[in-house]
Amino acid sequence: MSVPGMTPQIAQQIYERRKTKPFVNLEEVMRLVPGVQGPNTMALLSTDQSQVYTLTSSAHRENSKAARVIRAVVILEAREPSGYRVLYWNENVPRL
């Protein structure tokens, strides 16, 4: 849902498809999931079979210099109660 241009409906379609069969490539995603298009969306999608992900979240307060960027690296692990394990966490990431 954090991918620009991603709607809840498109995210659900991708999720349901991936539960039964991974996508082979991005062309297959575009063909089988209507609405997944645009350079901002496609640049952030991948069909790689990695279990390690880097997450970057930024926030700022309107009309203020207050801002924060947090970066985490997680690995998906089914044996963990949460389904993942944090490998790296940084709350002092330079502003994007």
pLDDT band at 5 (very low <50, low <70, confident <90, very high): confident
Number of domains in the chain: 2
Q: What is the value of pTM for the model shown?
A: 0.54
Residues 38, 56, single domain; the answer is no
Burial environment of residue 13 by CB neighbours within 10 A (0 to 12, 13 to 18, 19 or more): middle
Name 66's Cβ contacts closer than 8 Å, sequence gap at least 6. 60
Does residue 96 form part of some domain?
Answer: no
Task: Indicate whether 96 pLDDT > 70.
Answer: no
Does residue 2 form part of some domain?
Answer: no
Domain that holds residue 24: 8-42
Distance CA 75, CA 69 (A): 20
The first and second tokens of residue 82, run together, are: 């949460």
Phi/psi of residue 64, nearest 5 degrees: -150, 160
- Averaged over 28-37, what is the pLDDT? 81
Nearest to 93 by CA among 60, 70, 72: 70
Residues 27, 57, single domain; the answer is no
Residues 60, 86, single domain; the answer is yes
